[in-house]
Amino acid sequence: MGKCILIIGGARSGKSRLAMELARKSGKPVLFVATATAGDDEMAQRIAMHRKERPAGWSTIEVTTDVGKHIKQNIGGARLVIVDCITLLVNNIFNECGYQTTPQAEALLEERVASEINSLVECVRGAEASFIVVTNEIGLGLVPAEKASRLYRDLLGKANQMLAKCADEVYLMVAGISVKVTPASPEL
């Protein structure tokens, strides 16, 4: 098993840029796992821009869910895997489940997100590669007014905690600057 780095931060904070920079510097063969879907023209343009930014020698898979399974099936000779990003992965699960906020739907969403992240953690622990996982921190702002938005925030927060627990290093991106967060447990 290689090293696992979690990069977390706000929108446009430089998370993906740092992940790609670390991958380039490593010199290792890279598998890039993209979770974005083109729901509108702007997102389609962003996806196209990100595709152009990736080196031609990197392998890329675009998946909406079952990320751990797809990595296992496509890792090939890659020795570094970038997963960009967990934020959209959780959103994809919400889209599949229909954004319902009944207790049963919430329980299903929580189970689906936990299962997805557990599968990814299992993949990270079992692969002969290092991982860089990118995600957003969306819990620093106001409490969302809508129940579905609060549920999304909470589930992404839980997913991020699960990944941080698995990671060897966690970096918080702020205005393009990385701040090392780990070790996570303060000593008294």
> Is 80 exceeded by the pLDDT of residue 52?
yes
Q: What is the mean pLDDT of the chain?
A: 93
From 24, 28, 50, 72, active-site residue: 50
Q: Is beta strand 177-180 parallel, antiparallel or unpaired with respect to 169-174?
A: antiparallel
169 lies in some domain: yes
90 and 152 in contact (C-beta within 8 Å)? Answer: yes
Picking from 118, 119, 127, the residue whose alpha carbon sits closest to that of residue 1 is: 127
Alpha carbon distance 137, 160 (integer Å)? 8
Alpha carbon distance 90, 155 (integer Å)? 8
> Is 80 exceeded by the pLDDT of residue 19?
yes
Annotated catalytic, 70?
A: no
155 and 90 in contact (C-beta within 8 Å)? Answer: yes
108 lies in some domain: yes
pLDDT per residue over 116-134, tens digit each?
999 999 999 999 999 999 9
The pTM (predicted TM-score) of the whole model is 0.93
Expressed as residue numbers, the domain containing 97 is: 4-180
97 lies in some domain: yes
125 and 74 in contact (C-beta within 8 Å)? Answer: no
139 lies in some domain: yes
Domain with 14 in it: what CATH number?
A: 3.40.50.300
For residue 57, the surrounding DSSP H or E stretch is none
Cα 157 to chain centroid distance, Å, stands at 12
153 lies in some domain: yes
Residue scoring higher pLDDT (53 or 183): 53
188 lies in some domain: no
pLDDT per residue over 67-115, tens digit each?
999 999 999 999 999 999 999 999 999 988 877 778 898 999 999 999 9
Residue indicated by tokens 């599949």 = 96
> Is 70 exceeded by the pLDDT of residue 23?
yes
- For the chain, the residue count is 188
Alpha carbon distance 182, 168 (integer Å)? 8
69 and 76 in contact (C-beta within 8 Å)? Answer: no
166 lies in some domain: yes
Could you tell me the CA-to-CA distances from 43 to 46, 88, 135, 167 in Å, in that order? 5, 12, 17, 29
187 lies in some domain: no
Helix and strand counts by DSSP (H, E) for the chain = 6, 7
Cα 141 to chain centroid distance, Å, stands at 20
Q: How many structural domains does the chain have?
A: 1
